[in-house]
Every structure is written in C-alpha cells, then in structure tokens.
Amino acid sequence: MATLELSIQDEATAAPVRRRRKLGVLFWLASAWLAIILALAILAPLLPLQNPVDMDMLERRAAFSSEHWLGTDGLGRDELARLIFGARVSLTVGLIAPMIGLVFGGALGLLAGYFRGRFETLVVGSMDVLLAFPPLIFALAVTAYLGQSIPNLTVILGVLGIPAFMRVARAATLTLARREFVIAAEALGASHARIILRELLPNVILPLLAFFLLGVAVTIVVEGALSFLGLGVPPPMASWGSMIGEGRDSLDVAPRLAFLPAAGLFLTVLAFNLVGDTMRALTDPRQGAL
C-alpha cells in the first residue's frame, strides 16, 4: 500500500517536471528576447536616446559612432532611436489589434459553439463573408476614408483578426460543450450564463490566449507590410515596416538601414511564434483532462 502511494506521488510530481521540460531552451530564449524588446519599447521615452524625428542632412547615412551607435538613416535621423521607437509602434499595433479579435471573435465563437442552431449559422456565415473580402482592399478603403493613423490601423487589423479567433473559440467550445462537467452543471439547473462564464470560458480562454501570441506575430508582419507599402503609420513616425521601406533606397550604399529593422522584425515574430506554439501545445484541451 505504501509503495502504491509513493508511486502515485511520484507520478504527480513527475507531470509538472515533464511539462517544464517541454518548454525547452528555445522557449526561454524567445521569452527573454520578447522581454527585452517590450522593456525597451515601454521605457523608450525614458531612455537617453536622441529624438527619432530630428534630421541632420550633414550626417546622412553616417557610420557607427559614439554619438550614433547604429549610425543614421537617409535623412540623418538616429537609427537606434528609430529602431526602439519603431518597436514601440509595431508592438502597440501588434498587441492591441489581436485583443480586438480576441474579445469579439472569442465571444462570438463561444456563443456560437454553445447555442448552435441558427445563431451559429449566422455567426459562421458572417465570418465567412468577412474572410472572403480582400484584406488589402479593406485596409485601403478604410485608410482612404479615415486617414492614416495608429488607431485606424489597429482597428483595421483587429477586425480582420476576428474570424480566426471566432473559429478557435468555437472549435474549443464544441469540444467542451458535451463534457461531463458541463452536463453536470446543466443537470443541477445552472443557467446558460453561469455555464458559459463559469464552466466554458476558463477552459476556452487558454487556447485563445495561446492563439493570441500567434496572432501578435502575424499582426506585426501585416503591419510591417502595410507600412512598407505606405499604408501604415504616417511619417515621420517610425515603425519597423516603414523603416524597411525607407531603407530599400539605400541598399547599395547602406544596406544596414533595411537589414537592421528587418532583423528586429524577424526575431520578434519568430519569438512570438515559438512562445505561441509552445503555449498552444500545453493548453490543447485534447491533450489533457479538464
């Protein structure tokens, strides 16, 4: 009997250890990179940086120096300051836009997966219509009507992300809606609101949060692409995408002006993908009992 109890305790303590081992070195390296980038973006106004919009035409494309650690761009602006403030813009859009998709898409998917029927058909059909609309045309139309700004860009990308979050929430809800704890709550006379908020939401939110990290990576790439095309943040404000677009004119004389923001964009998106994939694997409701 004592041996059986010891084996059960060993299994209970071994499970968290196995889960920690799944994280791996890449997960912690990606998390450290994200922590550094987020800290720099948040503390950018407090750091001893030059003004990222101040121009000095006599210092155009200056090399690395003690005054300009990463040199200057084609208009004589400090490249390090623009990289850090560009991260601030890219991360602001990349984090807030998926939150819009998470809130609205998650709520619609949760309700559609629970109530089913005509409501589910209406929600899924409306999301299919939104997915069928060309995203670039949608972004062009809204930008032309409302103008270029960070809030407008954030709303555009947030609305475009709603269908993906709806599908994730609906799939998770369909998996959980007939589980024993939901059936027991119904048998005890719990209301629909209580079942959704107390039983389903805590379990659906985990895969949604994991997908949120992947959504941040995709949003940063899309924001960079729109800024590269001139549809993102208005100048002279910097984002990584706009810096890559500005640096393409200097590829023959100063390729670093395009490669440095591209490297920052690549590493940040890769880090979000690595963390998001790991969290998705750990929170998959099909891989463990709830």
Average pLDDT over residues 56-75: 80
In terms of pTM, does the model score above 0.85? no
Q: What is the pLDDT of residue 101?
A: 92
Q: Decide if 52 is inside a domain.
A: no
Mean pLDDT across the stretch 164-190? Answer: 85
Q: How far apart are CA 186 and CA 183, in angstroms?
A: 5
pLDDT at 20: 46
Return the higher-pLDDT residue of 15 and 111.
111
pLDDT, tens only, 104-128 = 999 999 999 888 888 889 999 999 8
Does 3 fall in a domain? Answer: no
pLDDT, residue 99, reads: 94
**Closest by alpha carbon to 266, among 136, 92, 87, 96?**
87
Question: What's the start-to-end Cα distance of the chain, in Å?
Answer: 28
pLDDT exceeds 50 at position 156: yes
Establish if 80 belongs to a structural domain: no
Q: What is the mean pLDDT of the chain?
A: 81
Mean pLDDT of 155-176: 90
Is the Cα torsion angle 153, 128, 276, 200 positive or negative in sign?
positive
- Residue 285: its pLDDT value, please? 53
Which range of 61-65, 107-111, 143-147, 254-258 scores highest in mean pLDDT? It is 107-111
Is 167 within the bounds of a domain?
Answer: yes
State the pLDDT at residue 5.
40
123 occurs within a structural domain: yes
Query: 30-35 long-range contacts, Cβ below 8 Å, gap at least 24?
Result: 30/270, 30/271, 30/272, 30/274, 30/275, 31/271, 31/275, 33/267, 33/268, 33/271, 34/268, 34/271, 34/272, 34/275
Look up the domain containing 177 and give its range. Answer: 93-238+270-287
Q: Is the pLDDT score of 211 beyond 60? A: yes
Residue 169 lies in a domain: yes
For residue 74, being part of any structural domain is answered with no
- What value does the mean pLDDT take over residues 235-255? 82
Residues paired with 78 in a beta bridge: 72
Question: Quick check: 9 pLDDT over 50?
Answer: no
| Region of 61 on the Ramachandran plot (φ > 0 left; ψ -120 to 50 alpha; else beta) | left
Give the per-residue pLDDT at 286.
53
In a domain, 88, yes or no: no
Q: How far apart are CA 250 and CA 252, in angstroms?
A: 5
Q: Provide the number of structural domains found in the chain.
A: 1
Q: What angle do CA 283, 285, 288 make, to 5 degrees?
A: 90
Closest CA to 89 of 165, 157, 162, 141: 157
Grade residue 174 by pLDDT with cuts at 50, 70 and 90: confident
The band of 75, judged by pLDDT with boundaries at 50, 70 and 90, is: confident
**Which residue from 285, 289, 286, 275 is spatially nearest to 210, judged by alpha carbons?**
275
pLDDT score for 57: 79
- Does residue 19 sit in helix, strand or coil? helix
Q: What is the pLDDT of residue 283?
A: 66
Where does the pLDDT of residue 209 fall: very low under 50, low under 70, confident under 90, or very high at 90 and above?
confident
Task: With cut-offs at 50, 70 and 90, classify the pLDDT of residue 102.
Answer: very high
DSSP letter string over 78-136? BHHHHHHHHHHHHHHHHHHHHHHIIIIIHHHHHHHHHH-HHHHHHHHHHHHHHHHS-HH
Res 27 pLDDT > 80: yes
Domain at 169, CATH number: 1.10.3720.10
Q: Is 269 helix (H, G, I), strand (E, B) or coil?
A: helix
Q: What average pLDDT does the segment 188-214 reach? A: 85
Name the more confident of 137 and 1.
Answer: 137
* CA angle (209, 39, 224) in 5-degree steps: 65
